[in-house]
């Protein structure tokens, strides 16, 4: 029996003039996470939103805020996102050297630590930190943009991560991020994805309808 996939709608695709309403829309989906995409214009080309927006949204919701840092030097940003109310902090494997130390930095603050890998980074790169992380975020698009098409072979990483987790008794959840639609979310769940991040499909109304049906 496939466990029910958790949806993590990405605010990057919401109407930024009305993020409070977007949060309420996310809260209407049982167990949903609020995926908060932070882009620094350096690790990825665009700049999105940051600490002041998170701190404001924290005041109106108790839903899990799942911060995705697409930033260089994530260790310098993490304390401010913890202070602003993040529940999970996921940073890019490619943006850091001292991954183990950064995971400890997040855990010391009592938050869940996630590691994200871009499409060209293999799962084996994470071998030494899989025992420590709470979330592995498999980017199923190239980070930095919403509305892209899912790169299907990235889902194979979820199957590999699920196999490693069961063989070694790891405890991370497997998340997929980018291009998730009502057409591919069931396949994502079948191959091992526990949490599906969706921006465009969710806020266009397509995906949330299929979840209800
Ligand atoms: C991309 C972000 C994703 C993105 C997902 O860099 O990390 O979370 O917002 O949006 P869609 O579902 O539109 O691909
Ligand atoms: Zn993201």
Please give the order of strands across the beta sheet that includes 173-177: 6-9, 195-198, 173-177, 135-139, 112-117, 88-92, 65-70, 34-39
Residue 175 DSSP code? E
pTM value is 0.97
Q: Give the number of the ligand closest to the Cα of residue 90.
A: 2
Mean pLDDT, consecutive 10-residue stretches, the chain (213 aa), reads: 82 98 97 98 98 98 98 98 98 98 98 98 98 98 97 98 98 98 97 98 83 49
The pLDDT of residue 211: 60
> Are 60 and 34 within 8 A, CB to CB?
no
CA distance 198 to 88: 17
pLDDT score for 212: 46
Protein residue with its CA nearest to atom 5 in ligand 1:
178
Q: Would residue 66 show up in a list of annotated catalytic residues for this protein?
A: no
Residue 206's pLDDT is: 86
Distance (Å) of CA 155 to CA 47, 52, 159, 188, 193: 27, 33, 7, 7, 8
156 an active-site residue? no
């Amino acid at each position: 029996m496939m466990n029910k996939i958790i949806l993590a709608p990405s605010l990057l695709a919401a109407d930024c003039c009305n993020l409070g309403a977007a949060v309420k829309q996310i809260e209407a989906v049982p167990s949903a996470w609020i995926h908060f995409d932070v882009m620094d214009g350096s690790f990825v080309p665009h700049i999105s939103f940051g600490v002041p927006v998170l701190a404001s949204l924290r005041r109106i919701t108790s839903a899990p805020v799942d911060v995705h840092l697409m930033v260089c030097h994530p260790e310098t940003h993490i304390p401010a996102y913890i202070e602003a109310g993040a529940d999970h902090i996921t940073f890019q494997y490619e943006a850091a050297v001292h991954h183990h130390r950064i995971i400890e930095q997040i855990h010391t603050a009592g938050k869940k630590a996630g590691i994200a890998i871009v499409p060209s980074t293999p799962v084996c790169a994470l071998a030494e930190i899989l025992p420590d992380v709470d979330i592995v975020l498999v980017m199923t698009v190239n980070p930095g943009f919403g509305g892209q098409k899912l790169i299907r072979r990235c889902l194979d990483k979820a199957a590999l991560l699920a196999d490693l987790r069961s063989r070694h008794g790891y405890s991370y959840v497997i998340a997929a991020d980018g291009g998730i639609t009502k057409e591919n979310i069931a396949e994502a769940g079948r191959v091992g994805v526990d949490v599906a991040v969706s921006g465009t499909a969710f806020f266009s109304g397509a995906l949330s309808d299929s979840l209800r049906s």
